[in-house]
Amino acid sequence: MLNLIILIVFYITFPVFLIWLTTKSKLCKKIGAIVLAYAIGIIIANIGILPRGSNAFRNETVGKDRPFIPKTEVAELVAAGTLTDRDARANNIAAIQDNVQSAIIPLALPLILFSLNVRRWLKFSGKGFLSMVLAVVSVMIIVATGYLVFRAKIPEAQEVAGMLIGCYTGGTVNMSSIAVALHIPPNTFVMTNTYDMIIGGVTILFFVSAGPAFFRFFLPKYKSHAVTTGENLDFDKMNKEMAEDFDDFSGMFKKGTLLPLFGALGLAMVIFIMGFGVSMLLPKVPLLISVILTITTLGVAASFIPKVRNIRKSFQLGMYFIIAFSLVISSRCDLSVFFQVKYIHLLLFVTWAYFGSLILHMFLSWIFRVDADDFLVTTTGFVYSPPFVPMVAAALKNKDVILTGLATGIIGWMIGNYVGILFGTVLDKIF
């Protein structure tokens, strides 16, 4: 029991160290706390720190599509000699990991959504709003076609399709939420996210180097939005505040910030409980799907309350939980299965979804005369999430598009869960 308590404390507190590393090391800051969490989790899972179950244990869990075995059943299997005491310990840890990751995301989601100011950001979105719509259409079309190609080759193709929709409309936040809602196996989630990070890492380098010139060759030039002097001051202020705020965890433990932050966490817990309450009223809807969608809806609704929206660092607290989730789920990842054939097909599916949606989005932007800067910054907001927007805006040498990227990325967080879960549950009924 003590070991299990230590494991829970480690999962919840270790992200503090990772965040501290990103403040002390330029290299760690570039890598990011989420990627560091994945790397450390994978190491923990594969060097023998945590007990690994036998083949019989895998048959009883992975083979039966469940994350762990109920306690009474484990005792019966151990008594019968089917499983060993080591398998029982591995099962206890698997149960802790599954429960922790299932609890973290429903807490993180509302905290991230509380800070949204949708009406204010949409005021300055300009052509970016059209680009956002075209991006959603592109992702839906390409992921659906990818599902048709790979559904016979990837056992969880439908669920992966839902995850990719979430990933390319809101980044890791939505991808993680949908993975929890659709019960994505840990290895499949980690491999999908790993492939996405590798492809995305190469692409973001292109975006901030040759990307601006490349896309400006094909798409119209950017035209400044017409705003009044007062609006322009407000616009510049928001640009500066939001560009600096997303990765800034400093000051979270100051008294003036900490107490309201506890209030935000309390509200997130209330929304979490309400999500379960709504799920009881919808017995035909899978539990976690109804919980995640209810939490998303209530989190967005709470963002329209000024007192909730103005709580400082609620976004950062939500991202803290996302880092913890990354650590938990990657520590369940078994490297020995990484090179199975189904993961090669998964790589091809991710590659198709990534570049196919990018190319189709660019083609539609050309048809509808969306300028290159708005195209690139909205693509960044959707695929990489808002924290990456200022970096791409700097490469474009155009600070005016920062808010456009932030606005579309924020909306991506809002809609990604709905569209992703829809795709992850109905694709097999449509095709």
Query: What was the pLDDT predicted at 340?
Result: 67
Query: What was the pLDDT predicted at 125?
Result: 60
CA–CA distance, 150 with 156 (Å, rounded to integer)? 10
Final residue of a structural domain among 103, 130, 164: 103
Query: What was the pLDDT predicted at 298?
Result: 92
Same domain, 140 and 282: yes
Same domain, 31 and 172: no
User: Where in the sequence is the domain holding 74, given as residue range(s)?
Assistant: 2-103
CA–CA distance, 37 with 283 (Å, rounded to integer)? 35
**CB-based burial label for 222 (10 Å; 0-12, 13-18, 19+):** buried
Query: What pTM was computed for the model?
Result: 0.77
Note the pLDDT tens digit of each residue in 328-382. 888 877 776 666 666 789 999 999 999 999 999 999 999 999 999 999 999 988 8
Note the pLDDT tens digit of each residue in 25-56. 888 887 788 888 888 988 888 887 888 888 88
Same domain, 98 and 216: no
Same domain, 76 and 131: no
Query: What was the pLDDT predicted at 82?
Result: 87
What band does 196 get if pLDDT is binned at 50, 70 and 90?
confident
Tokens standing for residue 92 = 């206890």
Same domain, 69 and 124: no
In 3D space, the residue among 39, 46, 40, 47 whose CA is nearest the CA of residue 194 turns out to be: 39
Final residue of a structural domain among 103, 122, 146: 103
Q: How many domains does the chain have?
A: 2
Final residue of a structural domain among 103, 130, 151: 103
Note the pLDDT tens digit of each residue in 98-118. 888 888 888 888 998 887 776
Same domain, 149 and 186: yes
Same domain, 175 and 43: no
Same domain, 184 and 261: yes
Same domain, 31 and 129: no
Tokens standing for residue 73 = 């059943």
Same domain, 112 and 85: no
Same domain, 95 and 191: no
The conformation of residue 225, written as its DSSP 8-state character, comes to P
**CB-based burial label for 241 (10 Å; 0-12, 13-18, 19+):** exposed
In 3D space, the residue among 229, 251, 207, 245 whose CA is nearest the CA of residue 406 turns out to be: 245
Same domain, 226 and 139: yes
CA–CA distance, 262 with 48 (Å, rounded to integer)? 37
